A and B are shown apart, each in its own frame.
Chain A
Amino acid sequence: MLILKLAFRNLFRNTRRTLLTCILVSSSLVALILVDGLVLGATDIMIGGITHTLEGEAQVYRSGFRDNLEADLYIENPEPIMATLAADAGVMGYAPRVLVGGMVASSYNTTGGLIYGVDYRQEENVSLIREAIIEGSYLTGGDREILIGKPMAELLEVEIGDRIILTAATVNTNDIAQELFRVSGVFEFGPDEMDETYVFINLPKAQGFLGMENHLHQIAIRFHDREDSRNRQLPLLQSLNQGNIEALGWLDLQPAFGAMIDMTNYSTAIVGAILFLLTSLGVINSMFMAIYERIYEFGVAKAIGTRPGQIISLVLVEALLLALLSCAAGIVIGYLANHYFSIHGVPMGEFEAAGVAIRGNVETRVALYQYINFPFYVTLLTLVAALYPAWFASRIVPTQALQRAL
């Protein structure tokens, strides 16, 4: 109790220095919270770009299909899988698809393309195809409807209503099939690869065109809770992983992207380490100044019987109070700033990461751990930084310290 009282009073003997040190420590905490909030926000955008645009947060497909998009590797009996997905409360939506490589031709030009047969209603819960339409209209189930990307439309020199011929090999027989479509919509997702090569037609038409009956190549899934998509042990996906059927979340579907997310976490750790290093130097400096200023008091305290361990405790309690005060300020300011930027966003210009275009403001994300873990680390660091000054104070020789009082 005496140590606490002494530490508290000592802390406010030099209010200006204490405040400056508090500002240093709390600023580091605020910076760490904001950097983490920004990284989470940018990561959300990138994950959203990958998963919500088209891929889905998880996919069900036949083993080996994703290696080369081999059209013959289709899901033979998709009904029970879709029934399971429809019954799962955690699933926001699922989208059955067929996809095959083929040729896309107009009267003027020809290009390679990836043909997606999609259920236009169910896609609205999983992908952003409708939102990406910039000309014409979204699919309505019509037999000849086709959506193409803007660069492809320019290459093929077609407009809404113009004719497009799709050519692809049918499944199992590998016969060449051709079908005529009319451009009903032009989309622009952002990433060049998608806009230049993807085309979307209605699922029944695609299944008929490719001779697939009711078979599917892929079922894309979106969850209510985004954390489910990161859960490799999710019971739903595990239950679907049977026989030649695989069900994977985006972390496994896009391993390179998952690694990049991990790297962003490392970047937060590196920023945190640099901030912590600078902060700890500031704390050490401040504690040493406080100790040198009161060196004769430590000499007196030792002279009248204070043990070295009690001197260490006193300095550490001062550091603890300093850290708690700083963290309290840092938590409040950090929360307010993070909350503000989570609404208004941070202007980051325009950049593309992992095939995802990020434009405009990046909204930070507020997470509870930022206000529990980071203050804990800051407090711990402050105590570690104070260890050396505390040890120094405990080693003060009373006679030398007392001479300074004269």
Chain B
Amino acid sequence: MAEHLIETRNLYRKFGSDETEVTALDHVSITIEQGEFTAIIGPSGSGKTTLLHLIGGLDEPDGGDVLLDGANIAEMSGNELSDFRRDHIGFIFQAYNLIPVLSAEENIEYIMLLQGRPAAERKARVRDMLHTVGLDGLGERRPAQLSGGQQQRVAVARAMASNPQIILADEPTANLDSHTGISLLETMRELNQSLNMTFVFSTHDEKIMERATRLIHLTDGHVEKDERK
């Protein structure tokens, strides 16, 4: 077990070039521990999503390092990084991003198929996940046949299906109504507490901020304030 579950060291990321160059992250160094329910907050363009994507290895930094459970993701090959994401990180996106030709069950099962888990184990896990996110009986529906809230619940179930150490959620409630958002957040908080699963949100949703145990304020690519409750 490494000292920190997530560690960024002088993380630097810019977009564009010359006159259009924008610094999205300017030497950001943070650490996040196992079991935290952390929200990265800040105005639009402050670098929240960029930081989340870099932590998840979805993007490459222009400088600095990301260490997940002690492993430097910059040193991983393409396949190693894919396997690391598959086994250790769950993603929840603002736009749900389910695979439309697969049913809710199949979307949840997909990642376990990549892991090569036995069919019986997969089916049982899918049932558990659907129950956990409150979608019993809706497993055979395709994303287009589900509401936004239901789709996001499927996305949460998919993210948790591989039993990852970390769940990275980018504005997960942005497209949901208030009631659905709160319900989903409560579900995630319960999972965090019962399974000691680490959640990192990128958000400016007050509901998430209220429930988060730690708030990392980003402004213009800098960590302005790191507040633990």
A interface residues with partner B (beta carbon < 8 Å): 2, 5-6, 9-10, 13, 296-297, 299-310, 397-399, 402, 405-406
* Neighbour of A402 across the interface among B85, B90, B97, B114, CB < 8 A: B97
* B2-22 at interface with A (beta carbon < 8 Å): none
Whether B114 lies near A306 (C-beta < 8 A) is yes
Taking CB atoms, residues of chain A closer than 8 Å to B113 are 2
* B16-58 to A contact mask, C-beta < 8 Å, 1/0: 0000000000000000000000000000000000000100101
Whether A6 lies near B102 (C-beta < 8 A) is yes
18 A-B pairs (CB sep. < 8 Å): A2-B110, A296-B95, A296-B97, A297-B99, A299-B97, A300-B98, A303-B56, A303-B85, A304-B85, A304-B86, A304-B111, A304-B114, A304-B158, A305-B85, A305-B86, A306-B82, A307-B83, A398-B59
Whether A304 lies near B110 (C-beta < 8 A) is yes
Whether B53 lies near A399 (C-beta < 8 A) is yes
Q: Which of A6, A303, A304, A307 has the most CB of B within 10 A?
A: A304
B132 within 8 A of A: no
Whether A6 lies near B101 (C-beta < 8 A) is yes
Given A296-B97, A300-B93: A308 touches B78 (CB 8 Å cut-off): yes
Main secondary structure of the interface of A (DSSP, over half): helix
B100 within 8 A of A: yes
Taking CB atoms, residues of chain A closer than 8 Å to B100 are 13, 297
Q: Which residue of A lies closest to B101 (CB)?
A: A9
Taking CB atoms, residues of chain B closer than 8 Å to A2 are 106, 110, 113
Q: How far is the CA of A397 from the CA of B85 in the complex (A)?
A: 14
Taking CB atoms, residues of chain A closer than 8 Å to B69 are none
Kindly provide the distance from the CB of A94 to the nearest chain B CB, expressed in whole angstroms. 68
Taking CB atoms, residues of chain A closer than 8 Å to B94 are 406
Q: List 10 extra interface pairs beyond A2-B106, A310-B114, A402-B58, CB under 8 A.
A: A2-B113, A5-B106, A13-B100, A300-B93, A307-B79, A307-B83, A307-B114, A398-B53, A402-B97, A405-B93
Q: Which residue of A lies closest to B88 (CB)?
A: A305
Whether A300 lies near B99 (C-beta < 8 A) is yes
* B103-122 at interface with A (beta carbon < 8 Å): 106, 110-111, 113-115
B201 within 8 A of A: no
* Neighbour of B101 across the interface among A10, A302, A402, CB < 8 A: A10
B220 within 8 A of A: no
Q: How far is the CA of A406 from the CA of B49 in the complex (A)?
A: 12
Q: How far is the CA of A309 from the CA of B77 in the complex (A)?
A: 13
Q: How far is the CA of A406 from the CA of B159 in the complex (A)?
A: 19
Taking CB atoms, residues of chain B closer than 8 Å to A309 are 79
